[in-house]
Structure 1
């Protein structure tokens, strides 16, 4: 199998899509599957640069971690014709993705796509709701030629089907349970950030309006007095509203900036709970990472997050935006050590069943089906 991947976000950009695609490329290397990647330019040291065809790019306004590139169409055609892919996978609907769609049609190469981000739901946070109708019209047109459109959760699948999309399949997400685990020395994180309080409540993710971080701050400010002095808040991530959040944050809140790898794994493992109020996630990679570290998550009952958290088993789900529900959930667990310990164990066990290898194995099988369908259509 020879796969051509078109994406407007890739290493070294920092977001769930880029990280997932990087893991997938590592998997393809291990499986000896030939591939070529068309992506924004960057310092892509972690992949074979001969396989990555980069194009100059600028940050996307609503989502700077994605890039708007200016791909050279004639160069792409030459590279595709030389590579002769069996399948094109288009991961994003912007310029590079559009170039993949154009040549997939023109060269009669079977195509699949993936839907990772609820850009439509972001519009309300930037006062751009007027664009919603046109975005969905474009997205339906863009995905129509694909043999399959892969989404990360059942919730996203239902949403797209209701909006008129067809041929929707699940491509879930996994977690590295050898990196994310509970058995780290918890003193290192406490010493690094000068934390003396007994409980650490953590948020991990992009610092942007669509993550409902206004709700997060209200939760932090509104904890009952009996808990307020016992809690330290840790915010791991960066983004366009980082300065605004820091200015409004209570004294018992520390911002780490962007962290990854073992440092991030230690933060998860040292935390008592992760609090994740975002209602716009198609999946929620950080939720699964936290659970792998044995740290239950209190999240919004929306999007893909509600498909990961089992309410009152591996964490708690709260109505999006309802600060009182989040506070009640936090209080319930911090005052019930037995239940908290049971959730820690169940969260870790759930995550251990989410293997990246099995998820990518299944994706390759779906690739083969898409290729076979094309062969049959010509028979």
Structure 2
């Protein structure tokens, strides 16, 4: 979604852009009609992610016709490797964006032994890059520790036209649809159902709640992923609803219907879903780790606890349930920070950085 918005922002400023991406079966990606799709296969460890199989001659022909002056690599996988090689051969300046802490995911999949190999690969892959864009200051510090750079901030905004508080009658209707009874506190999670999201911490925290809080709480986990069944089993016997993957208005309504947004993940480079919750007037209970700390403030718009600490998360859930006045105060702080996150300002800064890279390399910046 961020890359779709970037494409729209570039075109709105008169800058031609070509997106090269894997093919996703039955995709409804927002830029689907104007993207250069490549055949893909499911990634073995994570079938929802597709690995592209580029057609070198056809793709070279397409790129040669487009005549790019700047190459922005958004993945270190197959397409990123192709783009890197193509632009190096043609002496086109390269920048990259860092979206995912792959190194922090390894332990969740029993692959911690691969960390030195992955680190060296990431250093090699990014070596030609004139700039690496990261979504948060915490991520920039992480890249610096890995020896990657130079780095610049490419933060994230939120669409307040879509994500915003809703009128009470709409909220009540959505809550009834989600099976929330009158007087229950609705805790919402949105995201992948995957190990690296630390949902085991949430499950342990919920299981440890006092009986009176558990009886009057409802947890709704929106999303799907490679470990959906495993995660559902962790929550067996608890007041939890799994509505599956939601998008568009249905997703925006779910946010606005919640009392609290729960986000135990400690591996985020930014955490777009937490910002969407804030824009909906919903404070967050989350981990004081990762990129979310760039906009979540304990006691201002969130309750933050140490990462991977089920007992601390349980205490925060109990506090949230017992203190509705706290929720109302933090909701005001949530709306305040969300409304300050303008996509236009973020893209203006990114495009100014693009132009600086082109100027440094002696390439004409174009429109």
Give TM class, smaller chain: over 0.9
**Partner residue, 1:169:** 152
Superposed CA deviations along residues 33-65 of structure 1, whole A, max 9, x for unmatched, are 21111111244563363x422111012234434
**Partner residue, 2:359:** 372
**Partner residue, 1:74:** 57
Counterpart mapping for 1:342-353 below 5 A: 342-353=329-340
53, 56, 66: which is aligned to 2:36? 53
Say whether 1:357 aligns with 2:344: yes
Consecutive unaligned residues in structure 1, runs of 5 or more: 1-18
**Partner residue, 1:320:** 307
**Partner residue, 1:90:** 73
In 2, the alpha carbon distance for the partners of 1:225 and 1:55 equals: 52
In 1, the alpha carbon distance for the partners of 2:271 and 2:47 equals: 19
Consecutive unaligned residues in structure 2, runs of 5 or more: none
Specify whether residues 357 and 65 from structure 1 end up closer, same or farther in structure 2 by C-alpha distance, changes over 3 A only. farther
Say whether 1:25 aligns with 2:4: no
175, 187, 192: which is aligned to 1:190? 175
In 2, the alpha carbon distance for the partners of 1:220 and 1:45 equals: 35
Report deviation, 1:334.
2.5
Contact 2:23 2:50 in 1 (8 A): no
**Partner residue, 1:277:** 264
Counterpart mapping for 1:1-379 below 5 A: 19-42=1-24, 43=27, 46-47=30-31, 49=33, 51-184=34-167, 185-196=170-181, 197-249=183-235, 250-375=237-362
Normalised TM-score (structure 2): 0.94
Contact 2:255 2:282 in 1 (8 A): yes
In 1, the alpha carbon distance for the partners of 2:21 and 2:56 equals: 13
* Mean Cα deviation higher: 114-123 or 67-76: 67-76
The CA RMSD measured in Å over matched residues stands at 1.6
**Paired residue secondary structure (2:350):** helix
Superposed CA deviations along residues 118-140 of structure 1, whole A, max 9, x for unmatched, are 11111101111111100010001
In 2, the alpha carbon distance for the partners of 1:286 and 1:45 equals: 18
Report deviation, 1:76.
2.3
Contact 2:207 2:238 in 1 (8 A): no
Superposed CA deviations along residues 165-187 of structure 1, whole A, max 9, x for unmatched, are 12111100110011111124211
Report deviation, 1:251.
3.8
Report deviation, 1:376.
7.6
Normalised TM-score (structure 1): 0.91
Contact 2:194 2:226 in 1 (8 A): yes
